[in-house]
Amino acid sequence: MSSEKIFFSYSRENSEFVLNLAKELRTAGAEVWLDQLDIKPGTRWDKSIEDALRSSKTLLVILSKTSVASDNVMDEVSYALEEGKQVVPVLMEECEIPFRLRRLQFADFAESHEKGMETLTEALGLGEKAPLNLTTDQQRPKDTVSTPSQANESAKMSPKPSVSSSRKKLLILGGAIIIILGALYVADIINFEDSSDDFVVDMIEGAATEEEAWANAQSIHTIKGYLDYMAKYSEGGIFLEEAGIYIDSLYNAEGVVQYSETSDGDKENYFQIYKGGFDDETNTPEVGQYIISLMDNVVNSSLVGGDVDSEHIIKQDEVATVLQVQNVNGVVFCKILYHQE
């Protein structure tokens, strides 16, 4: 039986479903926090929600047509992912699942309430069965880095070590690495702002064990660092799903970029496909691949004919995920997820 607080993130349109589900979970032994039930009269609504979200260990996000369009719901999901909280999607009705949640297995109430409840109670550790890990990718390709996990991809994952032992070791190892890196930075031996890709790759490739490589990736905490870990341990890596979640959490914007130019002679690319430590000069990327910017590039609002906003820039050497590709008279445009400063 779980004693960790569970926070409900949902749209007001789905209040009846949410209220009934919260009552069912409480009956099953869950410690549920729901604004409809737990905000006391006279208290500030927004502060109560913020405090509850911060203190919760698990975020239960109810997916519906209205909730996936809600900025408040998506903000709560982003916060939970960034803070490393367990995020459990509950599919209330058929809808377009946001990109950042597609890698997470969901409890499907749209198909069957009974099956959805069974999956959910197991995931939350409320039944006698071992909890189902809902932060594991449903599917992941063998070539993990060149094609990141989405709903239509698959791969087998090796079992994870016990949380208690592995996490303690990683915390100790990660802390030691951070102290060493900090000392080197103070001594002006390395500079994170000016450090080369080779430094990031060496931090991962030079690790003696997978746990050390993962701790290095976390200490660097960049998209490239996580991709380099994923490239090295693409077959059965222990922390592949966590790496994907961290990458998604580092994105904060989407838009459209021109991947290449057209000319009578050789075509010049403004981006290249990034595969963890090396680049692929293939002219046209595929949906789901990572691309790296070869220069500062302007990000537009739509694939063709969108307004150009010079304030929206993806900087040189930044990595992005391709969401959509369109070829217009030999010119390749990509809709991307990226980090906007």
What digits encode the pLDDT tens for the residues 299-312?
988 765 555 555 68
CA nearest 32: which of 81, 115, 88?
A: 88
CA nearest 104: which of 84, 146, 133, 66?
A: 133
Whether residue 213 contacts residue 232, with contact meaning beta carbons closer than 8 Å, is answered with yes
Number of H helices, E strands in the chain: 10, 13
Domain presence at residue 74: yes
| CATH number, domain containing residue 115 | 3.40.50.10140
Q: Which of 75, 99, 123 is the last residue of a domain?
A: 123
87, β-bridge pairs: 59
Domain presence at residue 217: yes
Residues found in the chain: 341
* DSSP annotation of 52: H
Same domain, 55 and 112: yes
Going by pLDDT thresholds of 50, 70 and 90, the confidence category of residue 59 is: very high
Same domain, 303 and 245: no
Same domain, 24 and 102: yes
Domain presence at residue 270: yes
Domain presence at residue 112: yes
How remote is the C-alpha of 153 from its chain's centroid?
A: 16
Q: Within 10 A of 339 (CB to CB), how many other CB atoms are there?
A: 15
User: What is the spatial order of strands in the sheet that 107-108 belongs to?
Assistant: 31-33, 5-9, 58-63, 86-91, 107-108
How confident is the prediction for the chain on average, in pLDDT? 76
Spatial distance between the Cα atoms of 308 and 129, rounded to a whole number of angstroms: 54
Same domain, 174 and 92: no
Q: Which of 123, 147, 171 is the last residue of a domain?
A: 123
Same domain, 236 and 322: no
Same domain, 12 and 118: yes
Same domain, 75 and 184: no
Whether residue 61 contacts residue 76, with contact meaning beta carbons closer than 8 Å, is answered with yes
Same domain, 12 and 111: yes
Domain presence at residue 147: no
Same domain, 229 and 327: no
Domain presence at residue 132: no
What pLDDT, in 10s, does the model give residues 140-158?
Answer: 333 433 334 333 333 333 3
Domain presence at residue 131: no
Same domain, 171 and 112: no
Average pLDDT value for residue range 280-300:
84
What pLDDT, in 10s, does the model give residues 217-267?
Answer: 888 888 888 888 888 888 888 888 888 888 888 888 888 999 987 654 566
Q: Which tokens go with 15?
A: 């209040």
This prediction has a pTM of: 0.43
Same domain, 260 and 214: no
What is the dihedral sign for C-alpha 224, 76, 80, 131?
negative
Same domain, 211 and 184: yes
Range of the domain at 285: 251-338
> What's the structural domain count of the chain?
3
Task: Answer yes or no: is pLDDT of 215 > 60.
Answer: yes
End-to-end CA distance of the chain: 43
Q: Which tokens go with 300?
A: 């537009």
Residue 165 Cα distances to 83, 177, 204, 211, 262, angstroms: 21, 18, 22, 12, 55
Q: Which of 249, 273, 288 is the last residue of a domain?
A: 249
Domain presence at residue 143: no
